[in-house]
Amino acid sequence: MKLSLALATLAVGGASAFSVNQNGGLRTSTQLNVFRQPIMAGNWKMNPTTESDALNLAIGFCALVDTLEDTCGLDESDTCTEVVLFPPFPFISKVKDIVSEKGVTVGAQQVYYEDKGAFTGSVAASMVKSVGCEYVLCGHSERRTLFSDSDVNINAKVKKVLEFGMKPILCIGETQEEYDLGITEEVCAMQVSKDLAGVSKKDLENVVLAYEPVWAIGTGLVCDAEDANKVHKFIRTVLAKMYDEEAAQSIRIQYGGSVTPESVDGLMAMSDIDGCLVGGASLFSDKFARICNFKATEE
């Protein structure tokens, strides 16, 4: 694996069926011949508890990066897997220093939408940008539920992240209750439309989506790959209405929720799953390395 910083490239032209290479590299969609670079992200959440443990985790992961099959350098082709780590704020700089030589990028788990000022405890987009963050998570369900992040606030954060030249990973997904009510599509459509309100088609090129069913997060209940893929396809139909088919087919959509080395290959074999947002398993360097080194088979 390793990463190129390039976004998925788009070549409108000859029709092509979906395919991935043996290692899961290039993801080619139907109709528009759109290529989406796989992206694996490790969301460490509020872990580990000390700086030394965080640095050891980063060092351990880097030691495994070289053993992965799908290796390519920072500026090489889009067919390699982009890898991003989201450490807690205090560890971002030092983790970046360790992982950047392997082409792994870092991101922030959250930012506030104001630029600066009397907002005790908050962190601005400019701050995380200045320590080298390429990505920021927006709308993670733990922020929505535990910290009352509203869709209005999430929308403001997405725009602020884009304004500072970073890439938001916008997390959406239904709760267990919403799943039981059978309103997964309605919830996802509502979140996508509210959270991306006012984001231009051009800016959308720098957005990654993460479909994270809340009932699958930290529960060991990974969503069935086919079911997750249906939701991803549905999300693209929402985006096609908001933007157009090209934008809908070009955006990368990750799946998140109890992803493990055992479940990753099946997920990544799906046509519309372009990567994973990984929580618990990203705290084990061997597990996360195996996830980054997924083996997707042709559909």
Question: Which residues sit at the interface with ligand 13P, rule CB under 6 A?
Answer: 43, 140, 212, 217-218, 256-259, 277-281
Query: Which lies closer to ligand 13P via its Cβ, residue 228 or residue 259?
Result: 259
State which amino acid sits at residue 212.
E
CA separation for the pair 209, 172 (Å, rounded)? 8
Whether 232 is catalytic is no
Compute the distance between CA of residue 135 and CA of residue 137 in angstroms, rounded to an integer. Answer: 7
User: Which one of the listed residues 82, 134, 140, 174 is annotated catalytic?
Assistant: 140
**Whole-angstrom distance, CA of residue 243 vs CA of residue 143:** 27
Nearer of residues 96 and 140 to ligand 13P, judged by Cβ:
140
Tell me the closest approach of the beta carbon of residue 19 to ligand 13P, in angstroms: 27
Nearer to ligand 13P, 85 or 281 (CB): 281
Minimum distance, C-beta of residue 138 to ligand 13P, in the bound complex (Å): 12
Q: Output the six-digit token pair for 29.
A: 């969609």
What sign for the dihedral angle of Cα 135, 140, 143, 146? negative
CB of 34 to ligand 13P, least distance (A): 25
Q: Evaluate the omega torsion of the peptide bond into residue 48 and state whether it is cis, within 30 degrees of 0.
A: yes
Q: Residue 140 catalytic? A: yes
Tokens encoding 296: 């997707």
CB atoms within 10 A of CB 175: 17
DSSP per residue, 221-251? -PPPHHHHHHHHHHHHHHHHHHS-HHHHHHS
The residue of the chain with the least Cβ separation from ligand 13P equals 279
The minimum distance between CB 39 and ligand 13P, in angstroms, equals 13
Q: What is the 3-state secondary structure (H, E, C) of 15-57?
A: CCCCECCCCCCCEECCCCCEEECCEEEEECCCCCCCHHHHHHH
Nearer to ligand 13P, 76 or 265 (CB): 265
Give the residue among 181, 256, 267, 266 at the shortest CA–CA distance from 213: 256
Catalytic residue among 82, 134, 174, 212: 212
- Closer by beta carbon to ligand 13P, 15 or else 46: 46
Shortest reach from residue 232's CB to ligand 13P, in Å: 16
Which residues are catalytically annotated? 140, 212
